[in-house]
Amino acid sequence: MLLERMYDDALAQASYLIACRETGSAIVVDPNRDIAQYVDAAARRSLRLDYVTETHIHADFVSGARELARATGATLLLSGGGGSDWQYAFAHDENVRLLAHGDRFEVGHVRFDVRHVPGHTPEHLAFVVTDLTSSEQPIGMLSGDFIFVGDVGRPDLLERAANATGSMERLARQLFRSIHATADLPDFLQIWPGHGEGSACGKSLGALPSSTLGYERLVNWAFQLDDEDTFIRKVLAGQPEPPRYFARMKTINRDGPAPAPPMRDLPELDLPALERAMDARASVIDVRSTAEFAAGHIPSTINIPVGTSFATWAGSLIPYDRDIVLLADTPERITSARRLLMLVGHDRVTALGGRTLRDEWQRHHGPLVTVTWIDYTALTTSTRRLVVDVRGQPEWEAGHIPGATHLFLGDLAELARDLPRDTPIALHCRGGTRSSIAASVLQAEGFIDVANVIGGFRAWEAAGLPVVAGDDPAATGEQVPHPNRPSHAY
């Protein structure tokens, strides 16, 4: 048996290529939309992709399962569970086979036993893998978003991200029972999860690439609780806001993702073309570092630096119904940004721009816009600035600066209407990256006096300054009411 874990840092997401060396038959589990990597991996080993599958309908990226199966002629294996609302719309395609609990299939001499493990999602499957050339005992479980290293999949996403009202407690109860239903599996079973540290599909995922079921039984909090109601309270508490684009991904992946757009060459804009794009309400995204952006950028552009959080904020902050123009100084950043946008379904990238475009702007319109950087001491010596904390709700509740206003970055463009236009604003997050993005969002919305707090809450806390816990506006001194805050979180 051959197993290759293919990990995408930007999505904190793992796909798996598993093959029988003797027969050359292979399967890919949980592919993302960049299907060339799986085709190339199989070709390097002279393998034949006979099957493609996924553990569940994903929320954090566009699935590549349907496209990969079509491109290779593989059979697409999909969950037949999930009820009427979460059935695959393309389940009756010619190359699709539906799976149910207790089913079994073989890839050469590697056996896959199918388990229905609802909880994270209603249709979720896990695959217990046995290398028949070595033993009749199973070697591992492809657990998807069911069991992670140190955590389990969150059961609140359908309700909080896809507005499936009343589903999270029901799914939490199913998750509790799915966990306890693993009691018949051996301690030595390896756990190969679908996500790692940094994923929003859980709240405290470990950084290790794999674990064993026995080790998780010892240290994973979810295995320590035998009372169902206690488990439900704990699994639902402290979950981070689901990124805003998750609802779109769930629908796309259920109904059938379109093929990824070709990565063809794009035109590089001159100044008149950029101005026409802006007039047409294109989203102009500067993907340089926060420091480079702060030093000088074209007005009305939003800064989302290429990095491990780019896909999350691009999915959350960029409208899906507009064209996208990317600004950067290197081809590498442009290429990376285009790939990451494609992974989360942003297919309307139409043009590029670089340093020359900024120079041209300055010649015709004057100086570029800058972002003021201040440190935490400015918050202690001046009362002029409204302090806005853009971290997530669990971070805010764990501790925040007294008197600060909480506006989650994912909701900032919508909630900015509640902020006063005549008051200087200081934005902070934990370290400074999210608040830099937030500064660009507010500047694009027309706010003039915006500053980013270097070091953020981490520096404030390290200095031993006062911290308030909880989420009571009366206790925290929250300064701005938010009548337009959505009733659900993202």
pLDDT greater than 50 at residue 119: yes
Range 193-215 average pLDDT = 93
pLDDT of residue 478: 41
**Secondary structure of residue 32 in the 3-state scheme:** strand
pLDDT of residue 116: 98
Whether 429 sits among the annotated catalytic residues: the reply is yes
pLDDT greater than 90 at residue 163: no
Span of 39-53, 134-148, 157-171 with lowest mean pLDDT: 157-171
Strand partners, 400: 468
**Top-confidence residue, 264 or 118:** 118
Domains, the chain, with CATH or none: 2-255 (3.60.15.10), 271-365 (3.40.250.10), 372-476 (3.40.250.10)
pLDDT of residue 482: 34
Instruction: List CB contacts of 69: < 8 A, sequence separation 6 or more.
Output: 52, 75, 76, 95
Range 454-476 average pLDDT = 82
This prediction's pTM: 0.92
Range 336-359 average pLDDT = 96
pLDDT of residue 470: 82
Range 136-163 average pLDDT = 95
Catalytic choice (274, 429, 439, 489): 429
Q: Which two tokens stand for residue 161?
A: 């991200």
Strand partners, 195: 13
pLDDT of residue 404: 95
Residue 431's closest CA among 402, 396, 459, 463?
459
- The percent of residues in the chain predicted with pLDDT above 90, rounded, is 88
Range 241-246 average pLDDT = 93
Span of 86-95, 190-199, 414-423 with lowest mean pLDDT: 414-423
Helix (H) or strand (E) holding 426: strand 425-428
Average pLDDT, rounded, for the chain: 93
480 pLDDT band (50/70/90 cuts)?
very low
pLDDT digits (tens, 9 = 90+) for 190-200: 999 999 998 98
pLDDT of residue 380: 86
pLDDT digits (tens, 9 = 90+) for 32-54: 999 999 999 999 999 999 999 99
pLDDT greater than 60 at residue 282: yes
pLDDT of residue 488: 25
Measured over the CA atoms of residue 315, residue 317, residue 320 and residue 322, the dihedral's sign is negative
What is the chain's alpha carbon radius of gyration, rounded to the nearest angstrom? 24
Q: What are phi and psi of 327, to 5 degrees?
A: -115, 130
Residue 64's closest CA among 1, 17, 118, 112?
17
pLDDT of residue 382: 65
> Angle at the Cα of 178 (from 172 to 184), degrees rounded to 5?
155
pLDDT of residue 476: 40
Residue 249's closest CA among 305, 309, 201?
201
Q: Which two tokens stand for residue 15?
A: 């796909």
Strand partners, 127: 114, 142
d(CA 287, CA 425): 23
User: Residue 174's Cα: distance from chain center in Å?
Assistant: 24
Q: Which two tokens stand for residue 315?
A: 């999915």
- 372 neighbors 451 (Cβ within 8 angstroms): yes
Residue that has been written with the tokens 């589990």 in this structure: 29
pLDDT of residue 487: 27
pLDDT of residue 479: 37
DSSP summary character for residue 34: -
489 pLDDT band (50/70/90 cuts)?
very low
pLDDT digits (tens, 9 = 90+) for 5-22: 999 999 999 999 999 999
